[in-house]
Amino acid sequence: MNAKMKTAIWMVLSFSTFETIAQTTDWKLEDGKALAETRVVIKQSQDEIYKSINRWLISYFHNPEEHLKAKVHGEYLRGVAHVSEFFTSGRYNSADLQYTFIFEIKNDAVLFQITDALIIYGGSQDADVDQGAVHKAEEFFIRVESAKKKKSNSDSESVITALNNFSTSIFQSFENSILAKK
C-alpha cells in the first residue's frame, strides 16, 4: 500500500466521528442580535461530547469555572469571557471584548454560539468617544449599513472584521480540539 493510499485511509477513519456542517462563522444579525455560530456533528454520545467540550474549555480558559454561568450536564453550557486589547485603531487606544459563549448538545451535534458581544473602550483620541464606553456589537452593524449608504468607510468595519477573525479563531480552536481526541 503506497503512502497516498495510507493517508487517504487514515483521513477517512479520522473524520468518521467528526463533521463540520459547511457554513460561515462570520457574525450576523439575527432578530436584531449579533451572533456567530458553528455546528459540529460528532458521532458520540451526548455525555462524551459534553466531556470533550469541557476538555476544550479547560485548555482554552485554563480555569473555566470562572467563566461558566450555567450548565446542564450533557446538554448545555453557557459562560461569559473577556478578551483584553481585542481591537485598536488610530481612533481608539484600545478596546476589549466581552462575550457570551453557549454550547447546546443535541443528539450527535454541538451548536457553539458567541453572542451578547460588548466592545469596551479603554481610551480614545476622539473627543466623541468616552473613555470606558461600552457598545453592543449590533451597533457596529448598524453603523456599517449607514456608512454604505453614505459611501464612507468607518472604524465599524474594522470592528466587525476583528469580530469575524476572533470567532473564526475560537471555532477553529474548538474544532481542532475535538478532532485531536479522535
The topology under which CATH files domain 18-180 is Alpha-D-Glucose-1,6-Bisphosphate; Chain A, domain 4 (3.30.530)
Give the pLDDT confidence score for residue 123 in this predicted structure: 57
- Could you report the average pLDDT of every consecutive run of 10 residues in the chain (182 residues)? 37 38 68 94 89 94 91 95 84 83 93 95 56 84 76 74 94 88 52
Query: How many whole angstroms separate alpha carbon 138 and alpha carbon 28?
Result: 9
Give the pLDDT confidence score for residue 158 in this predicted structure: 84
Query: How many whole angstroms separate alpha carbon 39 and alpha carbon 20?
Result: 6
Instruction: Name residues whose C-beta falls within 8 Å of residue 29's C-beta, 6 or more positions apart in sequence.
Output: 138, 141
Give the pLDDT confidence score for residue 81 in this predicted structure: 96
Give the pLDDT confidence score for residue 90 in this predicted structure: 62
Query: How many whole angstroms separate alpha carbon 49 and alpha carbon 44?
Result: 6
Query: How many whole angstroms separate alpha carbon 182 and alpha carbon 27?
Result: 29
3-state secondary structure of 54: helix
Query: How many whole angstroms separate alpha carbon 161 and alpha carbon 151?
Result: 18
What cell was used for 177? 480540539
Give the pLDDT confidence score for residue 9 in this predicted structure: 33
How many CB atoms lie under 10 A from the CB of residue 89? Answer: 14
Specify the residue for cell string 481542532: 176
